[in-house]
Amino acid sequence: MEFSAAQIAILINGRVDGDPETKVTSFNKIEEAQIGNLAFFSNPKYEEFLYSTRASIVIVNESYELKEPVSATLIRVPDAYSAFATLLHKYQQMATQQLAGVQQPSFITPTAKLGNDVYIGAFVYIGEHVTIGNNVKVFPGAFIGDNVTIGDNSILHPGVKVYHDCLVGKSVTIHAGSVIGGDGFGFAPQPDGTYKKVPQIGNVVIEDEVEIGSNATIDRATMGSTIIRSGAKLDNLIQIAHNVEVGSHTVIAAQAGVSGSTKIGKYVMIGGQAGIVGHINIADRVMINAQSGVSKSINKANTSVTGSPASDYTSALRSQAVARNLPELEKRVQELEKLVQQLMAEKVNI
């Protein structure tokens, strides 16, 4: 698809600085862009490339002042990174809107209800009493179990599995290989040392505008629901255990794990490979650093923690600084001990 600078500026509410008829057909990074590409510049680290790039159009912050002439046509916006994300989203929407119809072979039960402009890829299975909203895209190899509901404009990428009774809201994106509604990890220890499986009879509820990365797993509740609230963003390879609640607009990076029945607040940020134990609460707007181990509730909002066990971020950094200086401190203590011993010997000789 080909777009002019003027058309793009309308899409992202920007102002053209240069030739409004400049055309682009694809996107690229500013340091690698060629003629016909659109790029963006927002990080000062890449400032030098703004002046050397061959991109035809570059999206920049409206506040940025040029230090020398540029060859590209600029589109000025309040936030270049956000505007570029908006543009990519619109581009992706246009591409997926072209998909429609039911490919064969696929299996759709007679009791399933499909909305308008739905796309069902090859080798998809759709179970009994499933309800699929308008403009939903289900890519090849997906499985949708009995009594599942999927809201309007949602996308299930290849190989996604949504088990029975789960609810997926509107404008939800689930990437390839993710499993929604597998059994929670519930086993009751027996007197003889064996374990008896506890049936998991709840479900998973994913609210509107959630995005879930590839190969993530969200377990169904033992009873009730595991809930991912609206606007939450989950990266690849994340484990969400049974009866967990993830608050609205919370973001969780790759390889993090949340144990059962933990409640995570709104606007929480959880770094990669963080681990959170079960049956605790995380307050709103808490920031958990990568590889942190959270073993108890964090009840104060707007706090940051790091380390394992996780502790206050600032205090942890001070401790790390002290730890780095331990060899030097040990040397100084040894020197002081020698000095004290020397002074004591001199005192005895007086």
Say which amino acid occupies 257: G
**Is 279 marked active-site?**
no
| Distance between CA atoms of residues 124 and 147, nearest Å | 16
Place of tokens 């205090």: 315
* Catalytic pick among 157, 164, 175, 242: 242
- In degrees, rounded to 5, the angle at the alpha carbon of residue 319 between the alpha carbons of residues 317 and 324 is 95
Q: What is the DSSP letter of 168?
A: E
Strand order in the sheet with 281-282: 113-114, 131-132, 149-150, 167-168, 203-206, 225-228, 245-246, 263-264, 281-282
User: Which three-class secondary structure state does DSSP give residue 102?
Assistant: strand
Phi, psi of 178 (to 5 degrees): -75, 150
Residue type, 249: H
- Would you state the structure tokens that stand for residue 192, as one six-digit string? 């003889």
Positions annotated as catalytic residues are 242
